[in-house]
Structure 1
Amino acid sequence: MAKHSSRRQSSKSDAVESLNVLHVNACGIDIGSASHWVSVPPERDVQAVREFGCYTPDLMAMVAWLQHCQIETVAMESTGVYWIPVFQILEKRGFEVYLVNAQYIKNVTGKKTDILDCQWIQQLHTYGLLHKSFRPDDETCALRSLVRHREMLLRYRASHVQHIQKALHQMNLKLMNVLSDVTGQTGLRILRDILAGVRDSHQLAKHRDHRCRRSEEDIAKSLEGDYRSEHLFALGQAVELYDIYTEKLQACDIEIEQHLARFQPRIDIEQYPLPPSTRPPAIKPKNDPPTDLRPALYQLAGVDLTQIDGLNILSIQTILAEVGTDMSKWRTVKHFTSWLGLCPHNQKTGGKIIRTKTKKTDNRANLAFRQAAATLGRSKSALGVFYRRMKAKLGTPKAVVATAHKLARIVYHLLKYQVPFIAQSPEQEDAQYRERALRNLQRKAHKLGAKLVIDSIQVNQEGLVS
């Protein structure tokens, strides 16, 4: 048994030695919350593995030691948010930093320690077995942080809307049954009067906006309840917190608008003015920024992405903040959709595909594309026709992913080649689908040794042969 184990160990060492060394001056860092373990090649220092603290002076000492060891490239795991200060300091000092997905680094068997982790990362990076994770440029990273912060503020504000609804339910005030949004214009005016001491339901119902579907009598009936002091106190704090987060959202929108103005425009808006909107004017959603960001996003992207059916200002803002505008980071559109998690993630074993589902991801751009695809259910555009056909064929979840995949390919093409979006008519989409279906039938007939003869027939609007 000892001979067999020694043979296995020698074969493994021979395989490692046969690998080509691509990064001679490579370093591996195991990121932690309190300290970081750093490993350099053994010949660079007597103590090739060192521990550094997480404070800024400790990080500066780590940079000085890496420069002394003539390190040029560094690999680290993306552990929480602890890697961000280390990454930024090393990149600013001129190091080539590889941010690696922790799922792609599998440690050797045995007891797991920080020392073994950093040595394993350094060894993998030396042989070029690690790949960089995508990270946009600094300006886009700053925009991404602001957009993510805005999403967090929206989530926190939504939780206080739920607290408002809970307090109203506890007092048997069924305002949610007559108003579609309790924090709309009518709802907030009623809530502020209730907190001011007004209890007359008919007087409260006079705040009804003319666009409300329900009458004043219905609203007055819903406002007859049990006004208890403890629930009124909870309601007042919930409304106050809702107002605070609304104020912070407005300040965040102003900061995002100012940051967008700092980007180098990719297009001269005076020479190439913003195309007119293809959508009819509608009521502005409550969560949208107060100012129109179409011109700023148009100058940032170089093309007007709002011309694409399903994409609105917020979804475009999220997509550009997450992926940037440089599509050269992905070799092809297939690599782009694979990174988004909008294509089948095939798993093979024994030469057979055992799983074709999309991979699990928390990519925010993925979510933005899927939310945009879900809004195309009643669209009369070609994308709407595609979504409904996929829904009838595959079901709603897969139809959303397929349509999101199509939207991602369109955005990639527009950003990479800087060409305007040309909308396809539903008739053209149906004609292309018919041609693809006929080609598939001809190919199947050819495999069966038969010849398919196509004879066109007339079909009326109800889908019946005339």
Structure 2
Amino acid sequence: MKEIADKVGGLDVHRDTVVACTRVREPDGMVTLSKETFNTTRKGLEDLARFLIDAGVSTVVMEATGVYWKPVYYTLEGLFPQLWLCNAQHVKNVPGRKTDLSDAEWLADVAAHGMVRPSFVPPPEIRELRELTRYRKTQVDARAREIQRLEKVLQDAGIKLTSVASAVWSASSREIIEALIAGERDPAVLAQMAKSRMRAKIPQLEEALYGHFGAHHAFVAKQTIDHIDYLDAAIEALTQEICERLVPFESAVALVSSIPGISATTAQVIIAETGGDMSRFPTAEHLCAWAGLAPASYESAGKRRSAGTRHGSPALKRTMIEAARAAARTKGTYASAQYARIARRRGPNKAAVAVANSMLNVVWHLLTNGELYQDLGADYFESHNDPTVQVKRLTKRIEALGFDVTVTERVA
């Protein structure tokens, strides 16, 4: 097999150590291998960099091993013409011959022969932004779990607040729960704390608030509310920091958020995950595949079978599917019409993935062309149907019911 690189370094990364192997082809055609193990401390990584520089390698390859690759990659970044981070599934070694030294040698060998492609690693400023948006998402998820835990406490106490209120966490619900924590147990007094539209349900509230809310329920509910308040403050602080870092990308955020179903928060995540630079993805299909929203392929012996969607960026995939479900609830949009058509035949989950694919495809075009989104409308599919085909289809259905059909075209 033809070699594409003469001087390559392969790194097998672990938590405490990194095994390096340099593969250098000499002028006489002989290949020289040199292997050494280094610590992953700052001093150990500096020794690793000197080892690779002294060997004269031009391409350094490593596997994406959990989070342990990050300090190694960041230390070597900018020191070599090519620094590759590779998907571990794409560089599997020969079974039965696995050692740390052989893994490093195998990485160097497959890179020298062009048998592996580097993964997308964004620049430092995007990596920092990505860290913030992902951490914000964990806080949002934690907040949702705390609200569910509060509902569990109320149900355990026999307080059926959510049987009347639309949500366990609203202005009225919070005031009622805080009164319960403070010791108030009279359902009539608690029901009078309802606000706005919930006041029309005061009789039902009185019945729902009659339970056995005890001291231990009050303690757990108080801790839960305090945690929710802390998470609200953390989410607000993170959002403020993210907005400040996104000032250079304000135009990109505006373009992406012009798509129905994509909020400013969702647009922030899309920019953080993709970097906002669509030149890294040759086509919109490449971006969708990288996000894990494109169908995978499986073919053997000339037969193809369904293989689901490709593995991709979990954070971006989740964000786009959430946006697709939001777009499906909009009125009079192309996305809502597309979702309805597919959901009837394939179910809601596959419809959500299909709409997410379309929306990410649009994101690529908007960021590439710098244009705002122009919706095609909910009647797009109907307006593009061939009337003749529809007539034939409907005629066959009527004839199948035992009727004769004569169709005459109306004169305009």
**TM-score, length-normalised on structure 2?**
0.87
1:66 to 37, 41, 52: 52
Letter of the aligned partner of 1:173 in structure 2? I
2:62 to 65, 68, 76: 76
Letter of the aligned partner of 1:385 in structure 2? A
1:106 to 83, 88, 92: 92
1:427 to 379, 394, 412: 379
Distance 1:418 1:27 in 2: 40
Give the match for residue 445 of structure 1: none
1:187 aligns with 2:173: yes
CA root-mean-square deviation: 2.5
Following superposition of structure 1 onto structure 2, how do residues 131-280 of structure 1 map, counting pairs within 5 Å? 131-212=117-198, 215-261=201-247, 263=248
Letter of the aligned partner of 2:309 in structure 1? T
1:24 aligns with 2:24: no
Contact 1:178 1:214 in 2 (8 A): no
Distance 1:47 1:219 in 2: 77
For residue 225 of structure 1, give the secondary structure of its aligned residue in structure 2: coil
Q: Kindly state the Cα deviation for residue 131 of structure 1 after the two structures are TM-superposed.
A: 0.6
Q: Kindly state the Cα deviation for residue 389 of structure 1 after the two structures are TM-superposed.
A: 1.7
For residue 60 of structure 2, give the secondary structure of its aligned residue in structure 1: strand
Instruction: Report sequence identity in percent.
Output: 27
Q: Kindly state the Cα deviation for residue 43 of structure 1 after the two structures are TM-superposed.
A: 7.0
Letter of the aligned partner of 2:336 in structure 1? G
Give the match for residue 402 of structure 1: 354
For residue 50 of structure 1, give the secondary structure of its aligned residue in structure 2: strand
Give the match for residue 401 of structure 2: none
Q: Deviations over 1:380-434 (max 9, x none)?
A: 2222222222222333222222222211211111111112222213334422243
For residue 30 of structure 1, give the secondary structure of its aligned residue in structure 2: strand
Q: Deviations over 1:172-221 (max 9, x none)?
A: 11112222222221122222222222223222222212033752222232
Letter of the aligned partner of 1:408 in structure 2? L
Contact 2:9 2:20 in 1 (8 A): yes
1:331 aligns with 2:266: no
Contact 2:278 2:368 in 1 (8 A): yes
For residue 285 of structure 2, give the secondary structure of its aligned residue in structure 1: helix
Distance 1:375 1:155 in 2: 17
Distance 2:209 2:275 in 1: 49
Distance 1:89 1:142 in 2: 16
Give the match for residue 310 of structure 1: 261
Distance 1:361 1:77 in 2: 16
Contact 2:320 2:360 in 1 (8 A): yes
Counting matched residue pairs gives 390
Letter of the aligned partner of 2:303 in structure 1? K
Letter of the aligned partner of 2:284 in structure 1? V
For residue 212 of structure 1, give the secondary structure of its aligned residue in structure 2: helix
**TM-score, length-normalised on structure 1?**
0.78
Distance 1:159 1:426 in 2: 36
1:34 aligns with 2:16: yes
Q: Deviations over 1:302-321 (max 9, x none)?
A: x5223322222222222111
Structure number with the higher strand fraction is 2
Which ranges in structure 1 are unaligned for 5 or more consecutive residues? 1-18, 266-295, 442-454, 459-466
Q: Kindly state the Cα deviation for residue 95 of structure 1 after the two structures are TM-superposed.
A: 5.0
Contact 2:6 2:24 in 1 (8 A): no
For residue 332 of structure 2, give the secondary structure of its aligned residue in structure 1: coil
1:347 aligns with 2:298: yes
